[in-house]
Amino acid sequence: MKLKHIAALAALTLPFAAQATDGYFSHGYGMKAKGRGGAAIAMTDDAFGGANNPANMVWVGRRVDVGLEWFRPDRDASRTGSAGGSGVLDFSQDGNDDKDFFIPEFGYNHMLNQNLSLGVTVYGNGGMNTNYAGNVIDSGFCNPLAPAPTGTRTANGLCGQGKLGVDLMQLIIAPTLSWKFHPSHSIGVAPLIGYQRFEAYGLQPFAAISSDPGNLTNRGTDDAWGFGVRIGYHGKLAPTVSVGATWQSKIYMSEFDKYKGLFAEQGDFDIPMNFGLGVAWQATPQVMLTADYVRIFYNDVKSVGNPSNQPNCNPMVNFPTGPGVGGDCLGASGSSIGFGWDDVNVFKLGAEYRLNPAWLLRAGYNYSDNPIGSRDVTFNILAPGVIEHHLTLGFTYTLPGGSELTGMYFHAFENDTTGPANNPYFNVGGTDRIQMSQNGLGIAWGMKW
C-alpha cells in the first residue's frame, strides 16, 4: 500500500477519533478485540498488531481489515450546596451536545517471506469530548471580590462565557515489522506517528491562574504531531497456549501553541507510555479464552497528571484578566496545574466460541481503574474519564468467498466521582459530581489471502 493511500485514510479518520473508555484510551483496537473486552496481545487474528502487539503480525499472513465504529458517550456534571449552602452556583447538566462519533479503523499486513512481515495499522488511540451549554449560573456570584447577583444566568458551570468544553482527538499511524526468529517465537517493532487535535472553550475565568491567558481558551482547533515506538513479543508455549508482551514508549508530541496557557510546559500534551501482557488458551476446539493486563502511565504526562490544586499560583495579583503569578500556574513549566490523573491498571478478559465453520461468537469484560480522585473533580468537569466496567459482545461471520464480517457491541456502565467544588481561582463551596456511561457498535470487513 502506498504512503499516499495511508495518508488519505488517516485524513478520513481525524474528525471522528474521539473516545474515552480506559481513561481516554479505547478499550480495544480492532473489532475482534473490542468484542472480547479489548484482549488482543496474544491473539493473531487480524492486522491490528501496530496497536496491540507488532510481534503478532508475522502470524497473521497477508490480510486487510477495514472497520467503522459508532460511539456514544453520555457525560454529566453537577454541583450542589455551593456558596455556603445557598446553592447560588449550583447547576446540573449533561455534556452531550455532540453525542455521536464514528471511528474508522484500518490494518494491512504483507508477508515478505514466511518469517518476515511488513504492515501498517491506522487507529484512533483515544480522546475526550465534552460540550456543556452556557447560561446555567448567575455570573454575578462568580466574582470572588464582590459577588453580586445580576438576576440572570449568563455563565457556564465554571463561571465562563458561552459553552464550556474540550475536544481532544488522537490518531496513530503504526507501520509494523514482525520477525519470526524461531518456529514458535516472534518479535516486532512499530514506529508510531502520532497526530492529535484539541480545542477548549468557556474557560475565561481561568485567565487568573494562567501563565499565558491569551492562549488559554476559545482559540479554535490546534494540532500536534509526534513520534514514539511500540515493541512486542509473541510466543507459542504449547499447541494451545500463546503469550504476548508489548511496550509503548511515550509519544513525544509537539506543543499546542494555541493552548500553551492551559497545558503544562507551554502546551505540551504527550501520549503516555504503556505496557501490556497477554495470554490466549485454546481450551477446546470450539473455545478460546484470552486475557490481557495493561498499565497506562497518565501521571507521567505533566499536563494530565499534575494535581489541579497546586498551591503556588496567586490568582489575585492580576485578577481577573491574569496572568497568574507563580510556577504552578496553568501552562507553566515544572509543577503547573494539570488534571490530576493517576496511572491506571486495565484488565481485559475475552472468550470466543466456534459455533460452526461460518460463525464465531465473542464476549468480554474490561475493567479500568478510575484515574480521577475527589481532589480533581472540578477541573475534570472538562474530561470526566471515570469509566471502570465494560461488557462486550461480538461475532465474525465467514462469507462464502472466505472474507469476514465482524461486529461488536460494548456497554460501559455508568460511574461517577464526587469531590469538593473548588474552582481553582474561587472556592465556590459545595460538592461537584462528574459521571459517564458509554455505548459502542461496530462493523468491519476483513480478508486473508
**Any idea where the domains of the chain sit in the sequence?**
3-448
pLDDT tens-digit map of 351-372: 999 999 999 999 999 999 999 9
Residue 1: its pLDDT value, please?
46
SS3 (DSSP) at 299: helix
Euclidean distance between CA atoms 175 and 55, whole angstroms: 12
pLDDT tens-digit map of 22-70: 999 999 999 999 999 999 999 999 999 999 999 999 999 999 999 999 9
Peptide bond before 320: cis, by omega within 30 degrees of 0? yes
Euclidean distance between CA atoms 314 and 309, whole angstroms: 12
Residue 3: its pLDDT value, please?
44
Q: How are the residues of the chain apportioned to helix, strand and coil, as percentages rounded to the nearest 5?
A: 15, 45, 40
Reported confidence tier of residue 76, pLDDT bands at 50, 70, 90:
very high
Q: Are 290 and 350 in contact (CB under 8 A)?
A: yes
Residue 4: its pLDDT value, please?
45
Q: What's the predicted TM-score (pTM) here? A: 0.94
Q: Are 81 and 87 in contact (CB under 8 A)?
A: yes
Q: Are 351 and 284 in contact (CB under 8 A)?
A: no
SS3 (DSSP) at 364: strand
Residue 7: its pLDDT value, please?
46
Q: Which residue has the cell 483515544?
A: 126
Q: What Cα–Cα distance (Å) separates residue 286 from each residue in 78, 236, 341, 354, 398?
A: 48, 19, 41, 5, 16
Angle at 100 (CA atoms; ends 259, 433), nearest 5 degrees? 65
Q: Are 98 and 3 in contact (CB under 8 A)?
A: no
Euclidean distance between CA atoms 40 and 46, whole angstroms: 9
Euclidean distance between CA atoms 48 and 53, whole angstroms: 8
pLDDT, the chain, mean: 92
SS3 (DSSP) at 350: strand
Q: Are 151 and 138 in contact (CB under 8 A)?
A: yes
Instruction: Determine the average pLDDT of the residues in 120-139.
Output: 92
Residue 319: its pLDDT value, please?
86
Of 249, 376, 351, 331, nearest to 291 by C-alpha is 351
Residue 141: its pLDDT value, please?
86
Q: Is the pLDDT of residue 350 over 80?
A: yes
* Amino acid in the structure at residue 129: N
Burial 335-370 (b: 16+ CB within 10 A, else e): bbbbbbbbbbebbbbbbbeeeeeeebebbbbbbbbb
Residue 21: its pLDDT value, please?
82
Q: Are 350 and 289 in contact (CB under 8 A)?
A: yes
CATH number of the 3-448 domain: 2.40.160.60
Residue 83 is given by DSSP the state H
E strand residue ranges, 153-239: 164-182, 185-201, 222-238
Over the Cα atoms of the chain, what is R_g?
A: 23
pLDDT tens-digit map of 79-117: 999 887 788 899 999 877 667 888 999 999 999 999 999
Please compute, for residue 402, the number of CA atoms within 13 A of its CA located in the half-sphere on the CB side: 5
Euclidean distance between CA atoms 367 and 313, whole angstroms: 36
E strand residue ranges, 287-430: 287-296, 344-354, 359-368, 389-398, 404-420
Euclidean distance between CA atoms 49 and 308, whole angstroms: 36
Query: Positive or negative, the Cα torsion across 47, 50, 53, 58?
Result: positive
Reported confidence tier of residue 274, pLDDT bands at 50, 70, 90:
very high
Euclidean distance between CA atoms 231 and 126, whole angstroms: 20
pLDDT tens-digit map of 283-332: 999 999 999 999 999 999 999 999 998 888 888 888 888 998 988 999 99
pLDDT tens-digit map of 149-185: 888 899 999 999 999 999 999 999 999 999 999 999 9
Of 265, 256, 255, 258, nearest to 218 by C-alpha is 258
Residue 10: its pLDDT value, please?
52
Please compute, for residue 304, the number of CA atoms within 13 A of its CA located in the half-sphere on the CB side: 25
Please compute, for residue 117, the number of CA atoms within 13 A of its CA located in the half-sphere on the CB side: 29
Angle at 102 (CA atoms; ends 98, 105), nearest 5 degrees? 150
**Dihedral over alpha carbons 2, 245, 230, 366 (to 10 degrees):** 90
pLDDT tens-digit map of 225-246: 999 999 999 999 999 999 999 9
Angle at 62 (CA atoms; ends 360, 70), nearest 5 degrees? 50
Q: Are 383 and 370 in contact (CB under 8 A)?
A: no
Reported confidence tier of residue 127, pLDDT bands at 50, 70, 90:
confident
Euclidean distance between CA atoms 376 and 397, whole angstroms: 45
